[in-house]
Structure 1
Amino acid sequence: MHHPPTEDFQGQPLVRIGQADSYLLLAPQHGARLVRWVHRGHDLLYWPDAADWSRPAKIRGGNPLLFPFIGRHFVDGTPGQWRDASGTVHTLAQHGFARDLPFEVSAVDTRTAITMTLRDSEATRAGYPFAFVFDVIYALLPDGLEVTLRTANPGPQRLPCYPGHHFYFALPHAQRAAASLALPATARLRQLPDGSPAGAESGESTYQLDDPRLQDTFHVFRASPAAELAMPGRRMRFELDLPGSAPWHAVTTWSESEASDFYCVEPWVGLPDAIHHGQGLRWLEPGQSESAVCRLRVAA
């Protein structure tokens, strides 16, 4: 395990990666959360001034990591449960457990990149009875950031997973109408109360972020996956169709309320409840690993 230098942020020792005006602040001990991403002096992510670090998984901000399953899963209408092939029901919280658990810093270059690792433990096996190694690799680029979610199966049985991101982008709520999201060909879906995805409609090529059709909505890629977020002063291009990456199934759009000064655009490997309906569900054979890679490129 590496012990990189830390700096104080809201009373927490966070790891800093990068240069003077382009850097990351990360909390390995709190779900490997990316807390701040400063690009050429600008904070690109939202983080609340009065964050409650006693419950970091509940903080709205940064980039929580969603693993092993994103979203809500249901058994017979009860959320937070999933049923395996043998019929056994397991309890697993929404978005999984990674955002609640400490990661170790397994590799670091304080100028450019960090790898943080979560392994199975008693805390994970109760609701997800598999051996796994889950790595997140953050690598700064001259014009942005590359993030790799790598899942390895060191165990004897097939491993189901569909991880994802939950980026909280800083956007004053008064600017929502002036911001937009451009997408390739997609189907637009939402999750029904029983967990299943439904109501597929053809997605638009561009949405303004105050469009109510975006709230808590999955945009399933029908072609090469990508997205571009345009906000006053900057554009963010999501490069999701990268060689060697597991396929990104969708991006999800969400904000907590019309008055929230953040907007979430979340690349997901699968859809919520995929363990039951299969849309985006990944299976890793014993000894196999795979990576879901996204690049976020920033332009003025």
Structure 2
Amino acid sequence: MSNPGQYQTYTLSDESTQSEVLVVPERGGVVTDWRIQDQKVFYMDEERFADPTLSVRGGIPLLFPICGNLPDDTYTLDGETYKLNQHGFARSLPWEVTQQENGTSMTVTLRSNEQTLAGYPFNFELNYTYILRGNTLELRYAHTNLSEKPMPFSTGIHPYFAVSDKTQLEFDLPSNKYQLKGDQTINTFAGDFDFNAEEIDWAFINLSKQSAVVTDKSRNLKLTINYDSNYSTLVFWTVKGKDFYCLEPWTGPRNAMNTGTHLLIAEPGKTVETVISMTAKLG
């Protein structure tokens, strides 16, 4: 980090693979860095990270209780109208470290408060656990409903993967059907992205398997993302001229809070758990 003293940073490490993960709980519970044998897995925009008024572009921002954006940032529930900014509030609020184990795992916790209740009328507790095992980073997410009515939500991650030459990326994706942002038309993926486009923002749907693989031939780095059956959507996003691409497992698509599509429901007093893991292999 360009300003490492700005936020308290926690480290997970695995000596067998020379793997290290950095977590900054108070900046949205975000994983900021992951290195294997000094190879950087994640991209980080350090200027944005240093400005608490801006969303983090880098590492693994956390999405809850929505993924993507809502029309006019608005949804209706039980006859009441609420507003939520894109991707929800979890990525912009401070989380608390509630458990650490042997420098290989830690749990960060976010609880509902007056700010969250204004846009999302549920009392909840999120316990998100990061586990580093060898060259695999496992993300175990527990969503507990502390309210007296069923709690609908979507959850997901927005990981920014570092890349120096996007034309050297090879993709094995779980679907060839995708939708453009703001368009319900279902398109067919031919296997390649046009990285000369100013922006690519595609939501892959009808996923056929619980994994996606990206091989960066320029770095001999193979990245595998696994996710459980709660995840229905896989978003690919990148911007021309930026050294990142995002591959984002979401449990529900954009606007799910209004449409109900693939919404997860935590019953009163119950916990819904979801799991994602990432494995990075060199050579």
Q: Please report the TM-score for the alignment, with normalisation by the length of structure 1.
A: 0.86
Q: Are 2:55 and 2:91, in contact at CA under 8 Å, matched by a contact in 1?
A: no
Q: Are 2:58 and 2:159, in contact at CA under 8 Å, matched by a contact in 1?
A: yes
1:178-230 deviations in Å (ceiling 9; x for gaps) = 112211234211232xxxx51112344x4347275981110113422221011
- Partner residue in 1 for 2:11: 16
1:75-132 deviations in Å (ceiling 9; x for gaps) = xxxx211111x22110111110011111111111242111101011101000001011
1:150-192 deviations in Å (ceiling 9; x for gaps) = 21112100101111100000112xx111112211234211232
Q: Are 1:91 and 1:127, in contact at CA under 8 Å, matched by a contact in 2?
A: yes
Q: Are 1:18 and 1:110, in contact at CA under 8 Å, matched by a contact in 2?
A: no
1:234 maps to 2:221: yes
Matched pairs, number: 276
Q: Are 2:177 and 2:187, in contact at CA under 8 Å, matched by a contact in 1?
A: yes
Q: Are 2:99 and 2:108, in contact at CA under 8 Å, matched by a contact in 1?
A: yes
CA 1:213–1:9: 2 relative to 1, 3 Å: closer
Q: Are 1:131 and 1:155, in contact at CA under 8 Å, matched by a contact in 2?
A: yes
Measure, in 2, the Cα distance between the counterparts of 1:268 and 1:152.
18
CA 1:69–1:215: 2 relative to 1, 3 Å: same
- Partner residue in 1 for 2:37: 40
1:38-57 deviations in Å (ceiling 9; x for gaps) = 12221100113434423265
Q: Are 1:147 and 1:293, in contact at CA under 8 Å, matched by a contact in 2?
A: yes
- Partner residue in 2 for 1:142: 134
Measure, in 1, the Cα distance between the counterparts of 2:176 and 2:274.
19
Measure, in 1, the Cα distance between the counterparts of 2:68 and 2:143.
18
- Partner residue in 2 for 1:155: 147
Alpha-carbon shift at residue 276 of structure 1 (Å) = 1.4
Alpha-carbon shift at residue 18 of structure 1 (Å) = 1.3
RMSD over aligned Cα atoms: 2.1
One-letter identity of the residue aligned with 1:139: I
One-letter identity of the residue aligned with 1:180: E
- Partner residue in 2 for 1:295: 277
Q: Which runs of 5+ in 1 are unaligned?
A: 1-7
1:51-80 deviations in Å (ceiling 9; x for gaps) = 442326523111110111111012xxxx21
One-letter identity of the residue aligned with 1:249: S
- Partner residue in 1 for 2:68: 71
Measure, in 2, the Cα distance between the counterparts of 1:178 and 1:52.
28
Q: Are 2:25 and 2:108, in contact at CA under 8 Å, matched by a contact in 1?
A: yes
Measure, in 2, the Cα distance between the counterparts of 1:154 and 1:293.
21
1:83 maps to 2:76: yes
Measure, in 1, the Cα distance between the counterparts of 2:33 and 2:75.
33
CA 1:291–1:186: 2 relative to 1, 3 Å: farther
Q: Secondary structure at the match of 1:199?
A: coil
Alignment of 1:166-177 (within 5 A): 166-172=158-164, 175-177=165-167
1:180 maps to 2:166: no
Q: Answer with 54-63 or 222-231: which moved more.
A: 54-63
CA 1:168–1:66: 2 relative to 1, 3 Å: same
1:249 maps to 2:232: yes
CA 1:211–1:249: 2 relative to 1, 3 Å: farther
Q: Please report the TM-score for the alignment, with normalisation by the length of structure 2.
A: 0.90
CA 1:280–1:209: 2 relative to 1, 3 Å: farther
Alpha-carbon shift at residue 17 of structure 1 (Å) = 1.5
Measure, in 2, the Cα distance between the counterparts of 1:110 and 1:259.
40
- Partner residue in 2 for 1:191: 181
- Partner residue in 2 for 1:5: none
One-letter identity of the residue aligned with 1:148: R
1:200 maps to 2:186: yes
Q: Are 1:39 and 1:144, in contact at CA under 8 Å, matched by a contact in 2?
A: no
